[in-house]
Amino acid sequence: MVERNGELGTVISTIDGPTTTAFSFVLKSNSVRKNQFVKVETEDGILIGSVSDITRANRYFERAESVAEYERDGNRIIESFPTTDWEYTVANCRALGVYTKEGLLVRSVFPPSPGSSVHPVEEDMLKGFLGLDDNGLELGKLAAHDVAVKLNLNRLLQKHVAILAMSGAGKSYLASVLIEELLSRRKELGRPAVIVVDLHGEYVGFAERSGGYADKTMIIDGKKIRVGLPSISPSQLWEFLPGASNVGKREVARKLEELHKEYKEKGEPYGLDELIDSIESDALLKDNIKSAILGELYALKGVKLISKSTYPTLKELAQPGRLAVLDLSSIDDMRRKQLIVAVFGRKLFKARKKEKIPPFLLMVEESHNFAREKASGKEFFAKPVIELIAREGRKFGASLCLISQRPVQLSTTALSQCNTHIILRVTNPYDIKHIGESCEGIDSGMQASITTLRVGEAMIVGEATNFPVFVKVRQRRSVKSARGESIESIARKFEEMKESKKKDVEAFL
């Protein structure tokens, strides 16, 4: 229980503090929890701190040899002495900032006095201190408070966001909660379009009628996605022909220009077959150049993506307050996936620059597979596009959400442009080190906490909040995709299906 007048404890003097960055207080009761926010009156105003750790001590148990010696014969110190009278608990806090008497939020420049009373922070003060927004996107509640974490849309998305966690820690679940908030947003508050690159069919559940989001969701089967050759510029086509020489690229550009002019007069579309026929029938083209170009074009044709027309159109993909899921779970060819993300990512960005489509959020699952740090744009076609949107998108309302389980493999250029990081459980030491180096505001204590986060717990750091916060992610409302079932459930259904088929065969015989 909180003591009289809400007092939690008293600031104490230690070898290391109080300082401008940290202080400790002895608890009056056991009501304080790790990551809880507290306040202390100081000369400059109200100092807000966050509990980084809690320790308990007892003078009766300070010397291990004394405890061992006394209890060797079966005696119990706890039964022989008033040990509870000598037990005390100390909370160690990070000093985050000060509310001045003028109502301004400034850095802590003077430590609190030993003996000062420590109190809980009122909800309204806490929301203002953290920069929460009543009209924002609700992702959950603060870990040690009954306070909804509602993040301002501009602060969260305009300068991009990264969701980082190990496999199975809840990345897609959190992303689904974020999508729900965007789809439920009122028109007068501004509604961006949401486009998801879904590699494993984890977001197709949004199209289920029982979930309440079906009317706002479009699922695009990856095998049906096509890109019209007339809509691709020569320079973009060159990106997909990494083995072509400069001479070969010039010839392709010349042929594309001729085809565009010819078929525009006919009023008909054209595709790769027409481009290949045009090059094969060109008697003036040297054989070595021709064979090299044709080799690249046939390889591109084998990807089965370039066609005479584009599906889906940008109008279908990007609509305010609606979700478009590019379901690539049916595609095994990684090159084809790369091309889809590269082409549609660039089309969306260019269209947004010209204000032909609404502001959008492009969410890329397993983004380290599309924008790998140690890989060139010739191998990863989507990498230059993702880095382009990361660098320039904020100026035009083109936002990125990079979702990754291997942040150490993700492009530093792209990740560094994500001004908000939502981090769930991570245990790989290389990933943890990389996160610590790329995220401002994470100290060593927070870095250590990342490994202990449970499923459904996250740390938000960066532009979206004034200070790092730990959050319990709220329960999702949408239907979870059947493709995300547990192995137990899948195994059980498989055996039930086999038994059912066996019974059908026996009944037939």
Residue pLDDT, tens place only, 269-295: 899 999 999 999 988 888 888 898 899
Alpha helices in 158-245 (DSSP H): 171-183, 234-239
Q: What is the pLDDT of residue 316?
A: 94
CA–CA distance, 254 with 266 (Å, rounded to integer) = 19
What integer is the mean pLDDT of 414-430?
Answer: 93
Tell me what percent of the residues of the chain surpass a pLDDT of 70. Answer: 97
Q: What is the pLDDT of residue 184?
A: 96
| Res. 485: pLDDT tops 80 | no
- pLDDT higher for 66 or 327? 327
Q: What is the pLDDT of residue 170?
A: 92
Lowest mean pLDDT among 354-368, 415-429, 469-483: 469-483
Pairing of strands 323-327, 193-198: parallel
Instruction: Tell me if 453 sits within 8 A of 459, measured CB to CB.
Output: yes
- Predicted confidence band at 414 (pLDDT cuts at 50, 70, 90)? very high
CA–CA distance, 26 with 32 (Å, rounded to integer) = 10
Give DSSP secondary structure letters for 351-397. Answer: HHHTTSS--EEEEETTGGGTSBTT--TTT-THHHHHHHHHHHGGGTT
Largest CA distance in the chain: 105
CA–CA distances in Å: residue 333 to residues 1, 199, 352, 381: 59, 11, 29, 13
| Res. 137: pLDDT tops 50 | yes
Residue spans per domain, the chain: 4-121, 148-221+311-478, 228-306
| Res. 155: pLDDT tops 60 | yes
Instruction: Tell me if 279 sits within 8 A of 293, measured CB to CB.
Output: yes
Name the 3-class secondary structure at 330: coil
Q: What is the pLDDT of residue 493?
A: 81
Rg (CA), the chain: 29
| Res. 236: pLDDT tops 60 | yes
Fold (topology level) of 148-221+311-478: Rossmann fold (3.40.50)
What backbone phi and psi angles, to 5 degrees, belong to 227? -120, 120
Give DSSP secondary structure letters for 230-245. Answer: GGS-HHHHHHT-TT--
Lowest mean pLDDT among 119-123, 148-152, 264-268, 359-363: 264-268
CA–CA distance, 205 with 222 (Å, rounded to integer) = 16
What integer is the mean pLDDT of 207-212?
Answer: 89
CA–CA distance, 450 with 432 (Å, rounded to integer) = 8
Strand partners, 327: 198, 221
Q: What is the pLDDT of residue 484?
A: 59
Name the 3-class secondary structure at 463: coil
What integer is the mean pLDDT of 253-260?
Answer: 88
Residue pLDDT, tens place only, 36-89: 999 999 999 999 999 999 999 998 998 898 888 888 888 888 888 888 889 999
What integer is the mean pLDDT of 112-125?
Answer: 96
Q: What is the mean pLDDT of the chain?
A: 91
- Predicted confidence band at 238 (pLDDT cuts at 50, 70, 90)? confident
Helix (H) or strand (E) holding 25: strand 22-27
Tell me what percent of the residues of the chain surpass a pLDDT of 90. Answer: 63
Helices first, then strands: H and E counts in the chain: 16, 20
What backbone phi and psi angles, to 5 degrees, belong to 59? -60, -30
Residue type for position 148: A
Name the 3-class secondary structure at 484: helix
CA–CA distance, 479 with 266 (Å, rounded to integer) = 48
CA–CA distance, 500 with 437 (Å, rounded to integer) = 55
Name the token pair of 338.
Answer: 């790369």
What integer is the mean pLDDT of 445-458?
Answer: 88
* DSSP 8-state symbol, 480: P
Whether pTM exceeds 0.75: yes
List, in sequence order, every beta strand (DSSP E) within 76-210: 87-100, 105-106, 117-120, 137-142, 148-151, 161-164, 193-198
- pLDDT higher for 235 or 409? 409
Q: What is the pLDDT of residue 70?
A: 84
- pLDDT higher for 375 or 162? 162
Q: What is the pLDDT of residue 3?
A: 46
Lowest mean pLDDT among 17-26, 96-105, 339-348, 386-395: 96-105
| Res. 1: pLDDT tops 90 | no
